[in-house]
Amino acid sequence: MKNKGILIVFAIFVITFIVTILQLKYLGIKEGPLFSRIALLIFININIISLLLLVFFVTRGLSKLYFERKQKVIGSRFRTKLVVAFVGLTLIPSILLFVISSRLITNAIDKWFSMEIQKPIKDSMEVAKSFYARERERALSYAKSISSGTGEFTNESYKVIRLKKPDGSDIVKGAFNGKADTEVISTEPGDVIRAVAPVRVEDGISEVVIVETVLPRDIVNKMEAIRMAHNEYSQLEAFQSPIKLLYFLVLTIATMLIVFLALWVSLRISKGITVPIKELAEATNAVAHGNMDFRINTKREDEIGFLIDSFNSMVKELKDGKRSLEQAYIESDRRRLSMEAILENINTGVIFLENSGRVVTINNAACSILNLNSANTIGKSYKEILEIIKSEDLNPMIKRLSGKDSSSVEKEIHANINGRPVTLRIYLTALKDSKGEAIGTLVVFDDLTEIIKAQKALAWQEVAKRIAHEIKNPLTPIKLSTERIMKKWDGKAGDFEEVLKRATRTIVKEVDGLRGLVDEFSRFGKLPVINPVACNINSIVEEVADLYRDFKDITIITYLEDIPEIEVDREQIKRALINLIDNAIQAKTEKILLNTYYKPAVGLAKIEVIDDGTGIKEEDKDKLFLPYFSTKKGGTGLGLAMVNRIITEHRGYIRVKDNEPKGSRFIIELPLKR
């Protein structure tokens, strides 16, 4: 590239030299000194050649930009706009400057060579010539007068010399040849004006008279300045047209140079912007097609460099993020497959609903329990499933879940699926993302039908055992009493009547015990149908608490929250609470707490019966509500079973927990509406 530039400069000088020689030979420019003519022509030619080069580069740059724009090269439109803007901002003022400057230069040059300037310079020169001519004529006149003897010279400013023989001066030699003449000799003090005239005699010239006068140096200097000014002006006058042309060329080149510089600067600036933008576009396209290893290697210290560095950093972060996402996706997919495998192999039904209620996921267990087909169910509304699960308990659960403060609902419901009665334990929970926005609903349920049947079978087995045991106990003394009567009767014993009376009393007593057992069992099996009405649960608790406030050594404490009216059978709930308090008293308790709470999120009222008695063993808690299971000696085991049945009939739930530091805590949960 450097050698190419040297060759271009060398070619310019060669072309300039050749063109200058040709101009000197054929254009006929002969006025003025040779050096001035050559310098002027070289300067003009350099300007012309430079102008041609400028035109070439401008044309080349614009042509390249035109083809880039035609080929829709990235950044060509921006470069065009920038070039037009730069040229527009420089061209108009440059043209105005050119027009004004050319007008001023033309006027100035015309004024330089106008008659107003020419006449004083020429007149000054004429005055100087006349002054010298006058002094020379005066000196010659004096010399001739003296040589002819017609006058006597008395002017002290002139010096008279007589020579008998010629010296080295040409005019002296001419005078000896009969010619009178004058000359001007420059000396340090000033110019010497010398006049020579021959003195004629009959036989020839006897001598010559020389008259000299010295002009002062200051006058000589002024005369010389006038002469030099006149000569310079005459030379400039010969170059009037070339000077005008030169100035016009300078202005034109300056204008073109400004325009070209604007074009060049705009091309350079736009290239400095569009080339990185092109690289960025190509890099973006490469990254968009998945090439995360693409980097822009351009090193710059400006804002474009900062943008490139930011892009490279962004691509690196995208690569790291993509790798993390891929790993996260692989891990998520692995977890999804594991979760799907778990969902497809567990016996619990699982359904996921999106916010609109559309079924997204349903596992095999759910399809089996609800007698559904997975392919036909996914994508449908949950309302179509509700039509299959004919239960009045589901709609209240869904309404509770849609409440503002509700996050989960759990309940045991009875349903009829295709004519088959089933009991389901359903858990509904609203799923939310990290921002707390709801993303759907998870439904988890188990079919408790067979479990309940098995529990009932086991319960009735236990009941049968307990009844057999309770019946067997009185049958033994009845049998022994009967055998004793028969023995005394056969032996005709004297105390037969006494034995008969005692045995009869024993048999009657045991029969009455059997009758009481049968009556208790009958009452358990024939609990009256509940008749729910809206009432205040707190008033029921207070009414039950008042029954025990006068009991000795028993303290009843109540804590009651505000609870809306609830639909319950008042007498049945009182009966259940009384049974729980009686059990607490029999457990040697000293203080009983009756608390009520309201859970609006799930629409439940909660009652707690807390005692500080002996408590319940952990192994007995699972059997506590089974019929004929009792931890008390002589107990029938039907009291808590009856309480459990009452609460269940109200669609509620009862459970027992340990109380700290001692005692038991019975918790009853009842829905506000059935």
Q: How far apart are CA 47 and CA 252, in angstroms?
A: 9
Cβ atoms of residues 347 and 446 within 8 Å? yes
Residue that the structure tokens 């091309």 belong to: 267
Q: How far apart are CA 178 and CA 392, in angstroms?
A: 164
- At residue 1, the pLDDT reads 45
Tens digits of residue pLDDT in 52-95? 666 676 677 677 777 777 777 766 777 777 777 777 777 788 78
Residue that the structure tokens 């050096």 belong to: 35
ω into 661 cis (within 30 of 0)? yes
Tens digits of residue pLDDT in 528-551? 567 888 889 999 999 888 888 878
pLDDT at 356 over 70: yes
pLDDT at 522 over 70: no
Helix (H), strand (E) counts: the chain: 17, 17
- Crossing angle of helices 639-649 and 570-586, in 10° steps, is 150
Q: How far apart are CA 462 and CA 473, in angstroms?
A: 16
| Between 4 and 390, residue with greater pLDDT | 390
Name the average pLDDT for the chain. Answer: 75
Token digits of residue 577 = 């609470």
pLDDT at 462 over 70: no
How, if at all, do strands 555-560 and 591-599 pair?
Answer: parallel
Helices within 217-351 (DSSP H only)? 217-238, 240-288, 303-345
Tens digits of residue pLDDT in 395-433? 666 666 655 445 677 777 777 777 778 888 888 888 887
Side chain identity, residue 657: K
Nearest Cα neighbor of 174 from 193, 141, 198, 194 is 198
Token digits of residue 191 = 């110019």
Cβ atoms of residues 551 and 568 within 8 Å? no
Token digits of residue 500 = 């008969």
Instruction: Quote the strand ranges of 122-217, DSSP E.
Output: 158-163, 181-186, 190-201, 204-216
334: Cα separation from own chain's centroid? 31
Q: Cα dihedral angle (7, 12, 16, 18), rounded to 10 degrees?
A: 40
Which residues, other chains included, contact 639 with Cβ-Cβ below 8 Å and sequence gap of 6+? Answer: 579, 582, 583
Which residues, other chains included, contact 122 with Cβ-Cβ below 8 Å and sequence gap of 6+? Answer: 230
- Lowest mean per-residue pLDDT among 24-28, 453-457, 610-614, 620-624: 24-28
CB atoms within 10 A of CB 341: 10
Helices within 492-605 (DSSP H only)? 496-525, 537-548, 570-586
- The stretch 21-30 carries a mean pLDDT of 52
- Lowest mean per-residue pLDDT among 10-14, 428-432, 614-618: 10-14
- The stretch 372-376 carries a mean pLDDT of 80
Tens digits of residue pLDDT in 174-198? 777 778 888 877 777 777 777 888 8
What angle is formed at CA 543 by the lines to CA 540 and CA 548, rounded to 5 degrees?
130
* SS3 (DSSP) at 602: coil
Sign of CA dihedral 383, 389, 392, 393: negative
Cβ atoms of residues 601 and 612 within 8 Å? no
How, if at all, do strands 190-201 and 438-447 pair?
Answer: unpaired
Cβ atoms of residues 418 and 388 within 8 Å? yes
- At residue 608, the pLDDT reads 92
Tens digits of residue pLDDT in 101-158? 777 777 776 665 555 556 666 667 677 777 777 777 887 777 777 777 765 656 667 7
Length of the chain: 674
What angle is formed at CA 88 by the lines to CA 87 and CA 89, rounded to 5 degrees?
90
